[in-house]
Amino acid sequence: MNHDVLRIQGGTALTGQVSASGSKNAALPILAASILADQPVRIGRVPRLSDVVVMQRLLAELGVSNRWTADGWLELETVALNAVQARYQLVRQMRASFCVLGPLLARRQRAIVSLPGGCNIGPRPVDLHLAGLAQLGAEIRIHRGYVWAQADRLRGARIDLSGRHGSTVTGTANVLSAAVLAQGETWLTGAACEPEIVDLGRFLIALGAQIEGLGTSTLHIRGVEQLGGTSYQVIPDRIEAATLLVAGAITAGRVTVSHMAPKHVHQVLNALDEAGCQLQIDTDRVTLKGPTRPRPLQIVTGPYPAIPTDVQAQLMALCTLADGTSQVCETVFPQRFQHAAELARLGAVVEQQENLATVRGRPTLHGATVQATDLRASAALVLAGLAADGQTTVQKIAHLDRGYEAMDEKLSRLSGHVRRCLDNQPAVNRKLNRASTSDQ
Ligand code: EPZ
């Protein structure tokens, strides 16, 4: 775990233009699915993040060589087919490692993948992943903290992936990636409609898979005998783009985020509009002018196309400064409110009852030392720090580096006073140390 902190001198309105990076949550399952390819694969716009480093290590252990090209693409090629175990040490660092289960099972007939374990944002079960793969004919047992799965050849099936809180994103990725090599046809109902799943599906189609219904909750897959290789670029990161726009909104700034897909953050843009932001929306960019003081919001998170749970913390940060009382209802991960207590250290007033938070807006926040508890919580604290009076120190910034490519540099480019430094040391410019551990 790196021990960097961010020191933020708040109170400056952000201005300027930055571009969105490639999507973390699209890139990770796509990289895992490269296990399925019989030919080399080149993936473009993979963000440089510590989570990607973990996936690269895992793939290398699984016999998939991977290297960055001079022009910034990631080239992957299966060089050995016998490794089938994803170790606890790696899966513990990043839950998305569990996405290798479906591809390993489909391509190598066997997988031994550590259960991901606990998580800072609440319970994260994998029962739907396992039930889906079992319906494709896999024999699955859990032994000493590992999922042991095997099947000589998976068989197409009708599988319902809907759970108590809606669809499962990485569960859909796992079952879809397995079904593309299954014998016969598979119908997945209750599938996730997130753009990241559409992107994974398009990557699989580029490899030769036959999939219909992407972007809807019913996917129809005709299994094929083998998949080839391809060059593929991942979509822009909608969560990063939304975070940068909220940074403009919370500092009453004027920010343009380019190379993004506005249609993927439609509901977030609606919320920012309700908060009083002026928005200019073009095909691949959004310019936002923040209000002097935001209006309060009623936020309900949910599966796509609703407001993503991954933007809940950032929007809550905005609500702490609203001219009135906001409500934030978290329906995906009902316990994902750890940022509320840290925001309170900056002067925010948040009351929480089960999955509902009531945020009483204040005219100002005041700088303090706060601690990031998870990836999106760390983003919310950085945003609040940008808006607060005086200096805010955000500790455990390794969480931020897991999912945001050079966020401190992007905020500095927008005139934010953000410095990365070692804890207990004066602010100095430090290069990103992206090697970190966490558990999402
Ligand atoms: C993905 O996690 C994302 N991670 C998360 O992003 C995101 O918050 C989440 O989807 C929701 O959008 C990646 O894409 C790598 P789920 P995932 O399975 O797939 C329940 C971030 O900040 N459920 O869609 O693990 C579950 O408890 C991260 O970038 C079951 O009940 O989430 C939750 O209530 C954090 N059984 C709901 O479904 C299962 O087997 C949605 O979870 C699986 C999930």
Residue 356: pLDDT band with limits 50, 70, 90: very high
Q: Which residue, by CA, sits nearest to atom 42 of ligand 1? A: 168
* 423 has a pLDDT exceeding 90: no
Contact 386, 411 (CB under 8 A): yes
Which residue from 168, 239, 312, 438 has its CB within 8 A of the most atoms of ligand 1, so it is best to mutate?
Answer: 168
- Residue 435 domain-assigned (yes or no): no
Residue 438: pLDDT band with limits 50, 70, 90: very low
Catalytic: 329?
no
Which residue from 28, 140, 170 has its CB within 8 A of the most atoms of ligand 1, so it is best to mutate?
Answer: 170
Instruction: Tell me the pLDDT tens digit for each residue of 132-186.
Output: 999 999 999 999 999 999 999 999 999 999 988 789 999 999 999 999 999 999 9
Residues 163 and 296 in one domain: no
* Binding site membership of 332 for ligand 1 (Cβ less than 6 Å): yes
Compute, in angstroms, the gap from residue 13 CA to the centroid of ligand 1. Answer: 34
- Residue 430 domain-assigned (yes or no): no
Residues 293 and 146 in one domain: no
Compute, in angstroms, the gap from residue 292 CA to the centroid of ligand 1. Answer: 35
Instruction: Tell me the pLDDT tens digit for each residue of 84-125.
Output: 999 999 999 999 999 999 999 999 999 999 998 666 777 789
Residues 141 and 290 in one domain: no
Residues 255 and 146 in one domain: no
- Residue 223 domain-assigned (yes or no): yes
Residues 200 and 341 in one domain: no
Contact 144, 178 (CB under 8 A): no
Residues 270 and 410 in one domain: yes
- In SS3 terms, 364-392 reads as CCECCEEECCCHHHHHHHHHHHHHCECEE
Which one of 213, 233, 253 terminates a domain? Answer: 233
Work out the percent of the chain whose per-residue pLDDT is above 90: 91
* Binding site membership of 96 for ligand 1 (Cβ less than 6 Å): yes
- What pTM was computed for the model? 0.96
Domains: count for the chain: 2
Cis omega before residue 305 (within 30°)?
Answer: yes
Compute, in angstroms, the gap from residue 171 CA to the centroid of ligand 1. Answer: 8
- Residue 432 domain-assigned (yes or no): no
- Residue 165 domain-assigned (yes or no): yes
- Residue 120 domain-assigned (yes or no): yes
Contact 219, 167 (CB under 8 A): no
Which one of 186, 210, 233 terminates a domain? Answer: 233
CA max distance for the chain: 63
Residues 226 and 247 in one domain: no
* Binding site membership of 261 for ligand 1 (Cβ less than 6 Å): no
Per the rule left: phi > 0, alpha: psi between -120 and 50, beta: everything else, 259 is left
Whose CA is closest to 83, among 55, 57, 59? 59
Residues 222 and 146 in one domain: yes
Nearest atom of ligand 1 to the alpha carbon of 127? 40
- Looking up residue 173, the CATH number of its domain turns out to be 3.65.10.10
- In SS3 terms, the chain reads as CCCEEEEEECCCCCEEEEECCECHHHHHHHHHHHHHECCCEEEECCCCCHHHHHHHHHHHHCCEEEEECCCCCEEEEECCCCCCEECHHHHCCCHHHHHHHHHHHHHHCEEEEECCCCCCCCCCCCHHHHHHHHHCCCEEEEECCEEEEECCCCECCEEECCECCECCHHHHHHHHHHHCCCECEEEEECCCCCHHHHHHHHHHHHHCCEEECCCCCCEEEECCCCECCEEEECCECHHHHHHHHHHHHHCCCEEEEECCCHHHHHHHHHHHHHCCCEEEECCCCEEEECCCCCCCCEEEECCCCCECHHHHHHHHHHHCCCCCEEEEECCCCCCCCHHHHHHHHCCCEEEEECCEEEEECCCCCECCEEECCCHHHHHHHHHHHHHCECEEEEECCHHHHHHCCCHHHHHHHCCCEEEEEECCCCCCCCCCCCCCCCCC
Which one of 185, 218, 233 terminates a domain? Answer: 233
- Residue 254 domain-assigned (yes or no): yes
Residues 70 and 140 in one domain: yes
Residues 195 and 244 in one domain: no
- Residue 428 domain-assigned (yes or no): no
Residues 244 and 337 in one domain: yes
Residue 63: pLDDT band with limits 50, 70, 90: very high
Compute, in angstroms, the gap from residue 330 CA to the centroid of ligand 1. Answer: 13
Return the CA Rg of the chain: 21
> Region 211-231: what's the mean pLDDT?
98
Instruction: Tell me the pLDDT tens digit for each residue of 241-260.
Output: 999 999 999 999 999 999 99
> Region 313-325: what's the mean pLDDT?
98
Between strands 369-371 and 110-114, the pairing is unpaired
Range of the structural domain that residue 146 is part of: 24-233
Residues 322 and 389 in one domain: yes
